[in-house]
Each structure stands twice: as structure tokens, then as C-alpha cells.
């Protein structure tokens, strides 16, 4: 605190902000130090107002990040399993015209990781959503599931 008091007194003595900035302190840091001792100065009110606005912006941003994290957590918890209704369903590297990297057989159960415009991302790759349906109770109870090494997935 002695250094801060010295800097404030130096600034008041007429050395100005420029000389203090030369010591490695930003002008904002010098103003903050001065406001710690002389809060009644006009520019100190502005500095405090700027700090309040910055804190409000940061708290708003923090709240948004928290909301996004909660949505992602909910999405992870709500993953659903669907069954393949086509005889052979191409697994693509990416949606639409992506390279075919494998095939799901009819009845294979896939876990939905993401959805984009009629396409579903699974552990193996992307498949068209129109060839998937809700699994019957028999498949849900202990039927086939898709994953690496599964006999219902043919790799190319």
C-alpha cells in the first residue's frame, strides 16, 4: 500500500500520468489507485461506473455460459436410441454427400448424439433420420445395439 500511496502523491505533485505509465503502470491502474484514496474526485465516479458496467456485463456473460452448460447437460441426459428400419443404412463421414464409411443392418439400435437437418450423428457416423424409428420394446430390453465391433455394423 505504501507504493500505491507514493504513486498517488507523485501524480498529485505534478509528475502526471505519463511518468507513472513509464513505470509499467497503465493509466487505468493509476486512476484506480488514486480513486482508492480520493473517491470524491469526478473521474473516480466515472471509473466506478465503468467498473459496475463491466461487472454487470461479466455476470451476464457468466449467466449465459451457465445456461449453455445446463442445456448441454440436459441434451447429454436425453440421448435417445433409435432402430434402423432400412435393410441397409449407409453410415456417412458427414451429412448429405459424405463418403460412405459403413452400413447399419436392419434392426440395429443406434444412439443419437446430434441432429442436423434430417441427419443424425451416431457413434459410427452420420445417417439419414428418415430411415430410423423408435425401437420396439423387445429391442429396447436387450436387443442389438450399434457400436464398434458390432455385427450389425459393416465397415468399409
Q: What is the pLDDT of residues 34-58, one digit of tens each?
A: 777 667 767 777 777 777 888 888 8
Instruction: Look at residue 131 and tell me whether its pLDDT is greater than 80.
Output: yes
Confidence of residue 19 (pLDDT cuts 50, 70, 90): low
The last residue of a domain, from among 53, 77, 101: 77
DSSP H or E run through 132: strand 132-134
CATH of the domain at 100: 2.30.30.40
Residues 65 and 99 placed together within one structural domain of the fold: no
Confidence of residue 118 (pLDDT cuts 50, 70, 90): very high
| Of 98 and 27, the one with more pLDDT | 98
Q: What are phi and psi of 89, to 5 degrees?
A: -120, 120
Residues 95 and 142 placed together within one structural domain of the fold: yes
Q: How many domains does the chain have?
A: 2
Q: What is the mean pLDDT of residues 108-134?
A: 92
Instruction: Look at residue 104 and tell me whether its pLDDT is greater than 90.
Output: yes
Cβ-Cβ contacts under 8 Å for 114 (sequence gap 6 or more): 120, 121
Q: Pick left, alpha or beta for residue 153 (phi over 0 → left; psi -120 to 50 → alpha; otherwise beta).
A: beta
Residues 11 and 70 placed together within one structural domain of the fold: yes
Q: What is the percent of the chain with per-residue pLDDT over 90, rounded to a whole number?
A: 26
CA quadruple 34, 35, 37, 41: dihedral sign: positive
The last residue of a domain, from among 34, 58, 77: 77
pLDDT mean across residues, the chain: 76
State the pLDDT at residue 149. Answer: 46
The last residue of a domain, from among 28, 61, 77: 77
Model pTM?
A: 0.46
- Residue 97, SS3 per DSSP: coil
Instruction: Look at residue 127 and tell me whether its pLDDT is greater than 70.
Output: yes
Residues 62 and 85 placed together within one structural domain of the fold: no
- Beta-bridged to residue 22, according to DSSP, are none
Instruction: Look at residue 139 and tell me whether its pLDDT is greater than 70.
Output: no
**By residue range, what is the domain housing residue 19?**
2-77
Distances from the Cα of 108 to the Cα of 95, 97, 117, 135, 145, angstroms = 19, 22, 22, 9, 6
Per residue in 51-78, pLDDT (tens digit) is 788 888 888 888 888 888 888 887 777 7
Instruction: Look at residue 92 and tell me whether its pLDDT is greater than 90.
Output: yes
Residues 71 and 130 placed together within one structural domain of the fold: no
Instruction: Look at residue 114 and tell me whether its pLDDT is greater than 90.
Output: no
Residues 46 and 94 placed together within one structural domain of the fold: no
Amino acid at each position: 500500500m505504501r507504493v500505491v500511496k507514493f504513486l498517488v502523491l507523485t501524480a498529485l505533485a505534478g509528475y502526471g500520468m505519463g511518468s507513472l505509465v513509464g513505470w509499467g503502470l497503465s493509466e487505468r491502474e493509476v486512476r484506480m489507485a488514486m480513486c482508492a484514496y480520493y473517491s470524491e474526485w469526478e473521474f473516480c465516479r466515472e471509473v466506478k461506473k465503468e467498473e459496475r458496467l463491466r461487472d454487470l456485463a461479466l455476470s451476464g456473460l457468466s449467466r449465459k455460459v451457465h445456461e449453455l452448460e445446463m442445456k448441454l447437460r440436459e441434451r447429454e441426459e436425453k440421448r435417445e436410441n433409435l432402430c434402423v428400419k432400412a435393410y441397409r443404412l449407409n453410415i456417412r463421414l458427414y451429412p448429405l454427400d459424405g463418403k460412405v464409411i459403413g452400413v447399419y443392418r436392419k434392426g440395429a439400435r443406434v444412439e443419437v448424439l446430434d441432429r442436423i437437418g434430417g441427419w443424425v450423428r451416431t457413434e459410427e457416423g452420420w445417417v439419414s433420420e428418415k430411415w430410423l424409428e423408435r425401437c420396439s420394446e423387445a429391442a429396447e430390453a436387450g436387443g442389438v445395439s450399434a457400436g464398434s465391433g458390432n455385427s450389425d455394423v459393416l465397415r468399409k
